A and B are shown apart, each in its own frame.
Chain A
Amino acid sequence: DGGITQSPKYLFRKEGQNVTLSCEQNLNHDAMYWYRQDPGQGLRLIYYSQIVNDFQKGDIAEGYSVSREKKESFPLTVTSAQKNPTAFYLCASSRGLAGGQETQYFGPGTRLLVL
């Protein structure tokens, strides 16, 4: 079964705590993305990666960090510097072709709540 998996489905963070959200894909896609979704707003890009060992900040990278050590995996860490982390986090991947037409495939999401 090809697709993207995210874990956990729900995650609770305490004050001052770093938490890591997992994202794995077996679609053999080069590009991966992390989005944050808040009610009434469009998806906002946190980080993206076009190739292993390389990633770029999106529009709202502050308070987040990522790594891309393997093609299949793109974990997101929400650090204590992110003061308003409560949101629905979505991981996506695409083939990474130049020239656009990049359809994105999404995981099921992780809902992060602050205790």
Chain B
Amino acid sequence: SQKIEQNSEALNIQEGKTATLTCNYTNYSPAYLQWYRQDPGRGPVFLLLIRENEKEKRKERLKVTFDTTLKQSLFHITASQPADSATYLCALDTEDSNYQLIWGAGTKLIIKP
């Protein structure tokens, strides 16, 4: 069966360190993978999109990698700050998805001062 998995346990990181979140998938051939941030009681907000033929994408303190062989994407936040605390969702967009994204359940990130 097709699955997309993110670590369900909260990730606790000390302020200033790099936070790394994982998104694993099985039985998909994603064309694109997206990362979103969701704060409690709010809608998700788009952060980064990476294509299947890209290895890495950066935006300020954020970096996303995409390994189609391992079927995994890593999301890094460098120099983490307490304001980065939120739940981070990954979503796949496959070639035949017909506008639909397939969502992971998200990983809660807590940055401790």
Contact = CB atoms under 8 A, between A and B. Distances in A.
A80 to B, nearest CB: 27
A2 interface: no
Nearest to A95: B99
A42 B34 contact: no
Interface size class of A (residues with CB under 8 A): 20 to 34
Nearest to B105: A42
Interface in B1-23: 4, 8
5 contacts: A31-B99, A40-B8, A40-B105, A48-B99, A107-B43
Interface residues of B, number: 26
Contacts of B49: 101, 103
Contacts of B103: 35, 42-44
A96 B104 contact: no
A45 B100 contact: yes
A85 interface: no
B46 A42 contact: no
Interface string B72-113: 000000000000000001010101010111111110000000
Interface string A72-103: 00000000000000001010101010001111
A103 B99 contact: no
A108 B43 contact: yes
A25 interface: no
A1 to B, nearest CB: 15
B32 interface: yes
B43 A42 contact: no
Given A100-B31, A100-B95, A100-B97, 5 more contacts: A40-B105, A48-B99, A58-B100, A88-B41, A90-B44
Nearest to A94: B99
Given A40-B105, A43-B89, A106 B45 contact: yes
A4 B43 CA distance: 10
Nearest to B51: A101
Interface in A42-57: 42-45, 48, 50
B34 to A, nearest CB: 7
Closest 4 CB pairs of A and B: A106-B43, A42-B103, A43-B103, A42-B105
